[in-house]
Structure formats: C-alpha cells, structure tokens
Amino acid sequence: MATFIYALCTLTALGCCVLLMRGYLRSTTKLLFWAGLCFAGLAISNLIVVIDKIVLPLQDLSPWRVSVSVVSVGVLLFGLIFEDR
C-alpha cells in the first residue's frame, strides 16, 4: 500500500507541474513558470522517496530528498518575491 501512495504522490506532483507549465505557455505569466518549476522539483523529491523507501531501503536518501524539496520551495519563493507584473 505504501508503494501505491508514494507513486500516487509522485504522479500528482508531476501532473501539477505539467498543468502549470501548459498554463505558462498559454499565458506567459511568470508565476506559473516558477510554480511549475517548484512542482517539478517536488515530483523529483517524491521520486527520491520511492527510491529511498522501496528500491534502496538500506540507504538513507533523506538529505537528498530534503535538499531537493528546499530548493524547490526556494524557487517558488524567489518567483513570489522577485517577479512583478
């Protein structure tokens, strides 16, 4: 069951990334671009969770997971602060 939940979280974040990037290409609103990049990073972070918990259970990939998540949220924060209309 855990494998299903981890995979579903990864697919959800990837779906959000795709939808945000499609919206960006249609409207060229910079905030959609930054949010899309954030969700791409979160999808990668969720993929690392799958690898960490299912594929390599004896390895600790939590520093990588947290690093990718922090950078992803930092990208979104950058977009929120420094992009203006």
What is the pTM for the complete model shown?
0.89
Q: Give the domain extent around 78.
A: 2-82
Closest CA to 13 of 38, 33, 42: 42
Closest CA to 72 of 38, 47, 45: 38
Q: List, for residues 23-47, the tens digit of each pLDDT value.
A: 999 998 899 999 999 999 999 999 9
Mean pLDDT of all residues belonging to the chain: 93
Burial grade of 72 (CB within 10 A; 0-12, 13-18, 19 or more) = buried
Question: How many structural domains compose the chain?
Answer: 1
